[in-house]
Amino acid sequence: GNNLITSSNHLRHVDFITNLPSGAGKISHLNAVVLGEASASEQADLVLPSQQFSSQALVPSHQKYLEMYMRSIQDPAGFWSDIASQFYWKQKWPEQVFSENLDIRKGPIKIEWFKGGITNICYNCVDRNIEAGLGHKVALYWEGNGPGFDDTLTYSQLLHRVCQLANYLKDIGVKRGDAVVIYLPMLMELPIAMLACARIGAVHSVVFAGFSAESLAQRIVDCKPKAVITCNAVKRGPKIIHLKEIVDAALIQSAKTGISVDVCLTYENQSAMKRESTNWQEGRDVWWSDVVPKYPYTCEVEWVDAEDPLFLLYTSGSTGKPKGVLHTTGGYMVYAATTFKHAFDYKPSDIYWCTADCGWITGHSYVTYGPLLNGATVVVFEGAPNYPDPGRCWDIVDKYKVTLFYTAPTLVRSLMREGGVSFSGCFLSVYCCFLMIRDGACFYEVILLIAILIFITITQYVTRYSRKSLRVLGSVGEPINPSAWRWFYNVVGDSRCPISDTWWQTETGGFMITPLPGAWPQKPGSATFPFFGVQPVIVDEKGVEIGGECSGYLCLKSSWPGAFRTLYGDHERYETTYFKPFPGYYFSGDGCRRDKDGYHWLTGRVDDVINVKGQGIYAFVTLVEGVPYSEELRKSLIMTVRKQIGAFAAPDKIHWAPGLPKTRSGKIMRRILRKIASRQLDELEDTSTLADPTVVHQLIELADC
């Protein structure tokens, strides 16, 4: 991507292809291709929620949805104030509920919701639930990396832990409006730290603990935190990652640009590493367990304006520097809570598990804030979903009796490869039995084959667990291809649980297009319809809105409470990136198709950003004339991405491409690159429209260079 290009003088052009990209992190790049779009017959396929499910659902029919949706569009102020009133406000917002300008031609972009209202999101997540009698209810179940390591916090215990940390932060001088960087894995201390910051009006910036020292330093330099909160190490699967060493390196780098951080609060993660082996800088580094437990269990709430910043979350942009997406308090609170409640059809008896890390927006809105604002019980999982084996997720589902399970298509696909009853396998085995009987096999031979079949079936990683507790499944991060959707629905959910395929972004704060599980028949692979208050429009390349069945660029035409308000310190970039491409609208950067029934089908990024997780990245690299390609250069390119962004973004394959397949008008034919990347060489189809068809043969020859 650009990070890569700016770091190497040798590179003229880089083209990334990503197979079914997903939403863990983004790196910028020049061209991305999304595979796995649904075919026409798949788009006509309807899966209805059961009568039983719909009858108990919060929104039980599409008529009810339409009624609520119409009100949310015709009277957004009334619709959202009614919902917002269910939260605690120290002082209610004045008459005007929101003000917005999304049209760049009319002046600066501005979005404000509930401005002048005074509240605190931590109070609403924790204290308010305790006052409502949920003090003894489990707020967080923590499941460690290794099976057998677990912990539980009730809402009252959570309050104590949050207050102790909030008191400590206040004591070291963190004040309302100050930034705090959190670089923690999925320990309970991560949501605790987020809530503690919110309680005292500090702005948290969680950095995913897979980012490199360089990325962390870049974020520290941008937001200039008063403190960094981390832990010494973490075990992910069998691997130990020394987080504190990464923080140390980042702090050295940020200090070089004049940004020094006074306090590095370090949690001792004993299951991964003892404190004696941790590098330490006296005066700056403080062990969490030496200080935090000494503070009182209560801490006064800092009451803040609805438009006070709540958090910054960095997301990669197409020019090297990450974008600090800024969310404010009141609107985000109302939106995260409401979307959670409706998209998962939340009931107080539910046990909810989202596999996302709090380092991403999904973990902000749907591990921490959304569920806790609803008084839900949340499972926080430290480990890797396939450790110690690919049955771990279903083991956790059964252990905690999880009812709502929210994950990413990439995980669904990887677990699909590992487990589930194979119907073709069963068919083949039955056919073998038939042949054996026909050819005169003895009774015992047939019995033996059936026994093997049963053994294979019961040892399948999914089916050997009950999963009876599951009620609703969720998907996020990328389009879920229909076959993965079906496996998730039929095998994981036993054809019983609706799937909420939630389309949204770091920038949107919460779900934008999503099924409400009891309301609509679903089409596998479609995110279906907009959430309340959301007005998606599809525009052509000139920015003209197109109606009916169509495809084009997905934009939004009015604000919603959870929208981000700016890019930290760079409002101009906010306007240029999101509001200038199609004046009058917020541009999502995604392509979308609307079918004849009005269902939305997301087709992936149309700009130069790719989402990275699970699947590999395949980079076609063109070098400056005369620069030789070598193994050393290949390694250094991969190392550059690892170092500058993080290991999770490193290309799995670098393919030296002296030339790229271009049409006569200069467009890169990515279809061909995709086929070469997946070695489907017999499916290259017509290459005669290329300016130089020999490029394709050259690329094939260089494939395993």
Cβ-based neighbour number of residue 297 at 10 Å? 13
Query: Which chain residues interact with ligand PRX by CB under 6 A?
Result: 23, 26, 315, 361-362, 475-479, 501-506, 527, 588-590, 602, 604-605, 611
> Between 205 and 254, whose beta carbon lies closer to ligand PRX?
205
In the annotation, is 607 catalytic? yes
Backbone phi, then psi, for 174, in 5-degree steps?
-75, 125
Give the shortest CB-480-to-ligand PRX separation in angstroms: 7
**3-class DSSP state of 18:** strand
The answer to whether 193 and 230 have CB atoms below 8 angstroms apart is no
**3-class DSSP state of 355:** coil
> Between 162 and 602, whose beta carbon lies closer to ligand PRX?
602
Helix (H) or strand (E) holding 452: helix 443-458
> Between 485 and 532, whose beta carbon lies closer to ligand PRX?
485
Comparing C-alpha atoms, which of 513, 531, 533, 532 is closest to residue 523?
A: 513
Residue 286 has which token pair? 């403080």
Say how far apart CA 69 and CA 244 lie, in whole Å: 48
Comparing C-alpha atoms, which of 250, 249, 245 is closest to residue 225?
A: 250
Give the shortest CB-604-to-ligand PRX separation in angstroms: 6
> Between 309 and 359, whose beta carbon lies closer to ligand PRX?
359
Residue 238 has which token pair? 């069998």
**365-to-195, 361, 371, 507, 540 alpha-carbon distances in Å:** 12, 6, 8, 12, 31
> Between 20 and 68, whose beta carbon lies closer to ligand PRX?
20
- Residue 672, amino acid: I
**115-to-118, 119, 309, 504 alpha-carbon distances in Å:** 8, 11, 12, 24
Give the shortest CB-409-to-ligand PRX separation in angstroms: 8
Give the shortest CB-589-to-ligand PRX separation in angstroms: 6
Say how far apart CA 460 and CA 3 lie, in whole Å: 42
> Between 390 and 589, whose beta carbon lies closer to ligand PRX?
589
Strands (E), 533-598: 536-539, 545-546, 550-556, 566-567, 586-594
> Between 612 and 690, whose beta carbon lies closer to ligand PRX?
612
Give the shortest CB-530-to-ligand PRX separation in angstroms: 13
Give the shortest CB-512-to-ligand PRX separation in angstroms: 9
Say how far apart CA 509 and CA 313 lie, in whole Å: 10
Active-site residue, from 171, 607, 608, 704: 607
Give the shortest CB-1-to-ligand PRX separation in angstroms: 15
Q: How many CA atoms lie within 13 A of 693 on its CB side?
A: 6
> Between 129 and 362, whose beta carbon lies closer to ligand PRX?
362
Say how far apart CA 554 and CA 588 lie, in whole Å: 6
The answer to whether 449 and 432 have CB atoms below 8 angstroms apart is yes
What is 117-133 written as a DSSP string?
Answer: -EE-HHIIIIIHHIIII
Give the shortest CB-308-to-ligand PRX separation in angstroms: 23
Residues with a catalytic annotation lie at 607
